[in-house]
Structure 1
Amino acid sequence: MIVAIAFSFSIPSIALSQDEESISTPTKPASAIIPSDGLYFADVVVRNRPIFQIGSLPQIDASARAEIINRRLASLLSQNENPGKVEIAPDNPRKIATLRVKNRILMTVTRQDAEDFGLSTEELAKRWKQQLDTAFDKPPLVIDVTQRLYTTTRELLRDIVGNLPSLIGASVVIGITWGVAKGVRYIAYTWAKQTEGDSNTELLIGRLSYGGVWIVGSVIALGVMGLDFGALLGALGLTSVAIGFSLKDVLSNYISGVILLAARPFRINDQVVIDEYEGTITQIQLRTTTIKTYDGRVVYLPNQEVFQASIVNNTASPQRRSSVIVGIDYGEDIGQAIAVISRVLAKISEVETYPTPDVLVKELAASTVNLEIRFWVDSHRAGFLATTSKVAQAVKEALEAANIDMPTDIYTLVLRELPSQIKLKES
Structure 2
Amino acid sequence: MIRQLLLALGFASTLMASPGPTLAQEASAGVRLDGREVLRLTGETPAQASNRARRIETRLGALTNSSDPPGAARIIEGVGAEPRIEVGGEPVVTITLADATEEATSPTALAQRWADSIDQALVDAREARRSPGGRYWAEARGSAEAALERLAVSTVSIVPRAAAALLVVLLFSMIAALLRLVLRRTLPFVIKDPTRQSLIRQMTYFGLLALGLVVAADVLGFSPGSVVAGLGLTGLVLGFALKDILSNFVSGLLILALRPFHIGDQIAIGEAAEGTVERIELRATQIRTYDGRVTLVPNAEVFTSRITNNTADPVRRGNVRFRLGYEADIRHLTLLLPSGIAGLDGVLDAPPPRLRVRTLDASDIEFDLAFWTDSRRTDFQDTASLVRRQVVDLVRQAGIGLPNSDMRLIRTPSEDLLDRP
TM over 0.5: yes
CA contact 2:77–2:84 (8 Å) conserved in 1? no
2:383 equivalent among 369, 384, 387: 387
Look up the match of 1:45.
32
Q: Unaligned 5+ residue runs, structure 2? A: 1-23, 129-136, 408-421
2:279 equivalent among 266, 277, 283: 283
Look up the match of 1:17.
none
Q: CA deviation at 1:216?
A: 5.7
- 5 Å matches for 1:76-155? 88-89=72-73, 107=92, 115-116=105-106, 125-131=115-121, 149-155=148-154
CA contact 2:36–2:142 (8 Å) conserved in 1? no
For residues 273 and 75 of structure 2, the distance between their equivalents in structure 1, rounded to whole angstroms, comes to 95
Query: Which protein shows a greater Rg?
Result: 1
Q: CA deviation at 1:51?
A: 3.5
CA contact 1:271–1:278 (8 Å) conserved in 2? no
1:243 equivalent among 238, 251, 254: 238
1:209 equivalent among 192, 204, 213: 204
Q: In 2 relative to 1, CA 63–219 (structure 1 residues): closer, same or farther, beyond 3 Å?
A: closer
1:70 aligns with 2:57: yes
SS in 2 for 1:375: strand
Matched letter for residue 56 of structure 2: I
Q: CA deviation at 1:255?
A: 1.0
Matched letter for residue 348 of structure 1: L
Look up the match of 2:418.
none
Look up the match of 1:345.
341
Q: Which has the higher contact order (CA 8 A, sep 6+)?
A: 2
Q: CA deviation at 1:252?
A: 1.7
Higher mean C-alpha displacement, 172-181 vs 354-363: 172-181
Higher mean C-alpha displacement, 355-364 vs 290-299: 290-299
Q: CA deviation at 1:203?
A: 2.2
Matched letter for residue 302 of structure 2: V
Matched letter for residue 239 of structure 1: T
Q: CA deviation at 1:345?
A: 1.4
- 5 Å matches for 1:12-23? none
Q: In 2 relative to 1, CA 355–75 (structure 1 residues): closer, same or farther, beyond 3 Å?
A: farther
Q: In 2 relative to 1, CA 50–332 (structure 1 residues): closer, same or farther, beyond 3 Å?
A: same
Look up the match of 1:303.
299
Q: Alpha-carbon deviations, 1:104-126, whole Å to 9, x = none?
A: 85846979879548958666543
Q: CA deviation at 1:396?
A: 1.4
Matched letter for residue 126 of structure 1: D
Look up the match of 2:11.
none
Return the TM-score normalized by structure 1.
0.63
For residues 402 and 308 of structure 1, the distance between their equivalents in structure 2, rounded to whole angstroms, comes to 51
Q: In 2 relative to 1, CA 395–124 (structure 1 residues): closer, same or farther, beyond 3 Å?
A: closer
CA contact 2:34–2:141 (8 Å) conserved in 1? no
CA contact 2:35–2:141 (8 Å) conserved in 1? no
SS in 2 for 1:289: strand
Q: CA deviation at 1:258?
A: 1.2
Q: CA deviation at 1:153?
A: 2.9
Q: Unaligned 5+ residue runs, structure 1? A: 1-36, 412-427
Q: Alpha-carbon deviations, 1:168-188, whole Å to 9, x = none?
A: 9x9999899779867876786
CA contact 1:355–1:376 (8 Å) conserved in 2? yes
Percent of residue pairs identical: 29
Q: CA deviation at 1:233?
A: 4.7
For residues 342 and 33 of structure 2, the distance between their equivalents in structure 1, rounded to whole angstroms, comes to 100
Look up the match of 1:336.
332
1:373 aligns with 2:360: no
2:318 equivalent among 316, 319, 322: 322
CA contact 2:325–2:365 (8 Å) conserved in 1? yes
Return the TM-score normalized by structure 2.
0.63
CA contact 2:252–2:281 (8 Å) conserved in 1? yes
For residues 193 and 119 of structure 1, the distance between their equivalents in structure 2, rounded to whole angstroms, comes to 75
Look up the match of 1:255.
250
Matched letter for residue 246 of structure 2: L
For residues 363 and 395 of structure 2, the distance between their equivalents in structure 1, rounded to whole angstroms, comes to 17
For residues 311 and 95 of structure 2, the distance between their equivalents in structure 1, rounded to whole angstroms, comes to 89
RMSD between aligned alpha carbons?
A: 5.0
Look up the match of 1:264.
259
CA contact 1:188–1:209 (8 Å) conserved in 2? no
Q: CA deviation at 1:160?
A: 8.1
Look up the match of 1:274.
269
Q: In 2 relative to 1, CA 180–269 (structure 1 residues): closer, same or farther, beyond 3 Å?
A: closer
Matched letter for residue 266 of structure 1: F
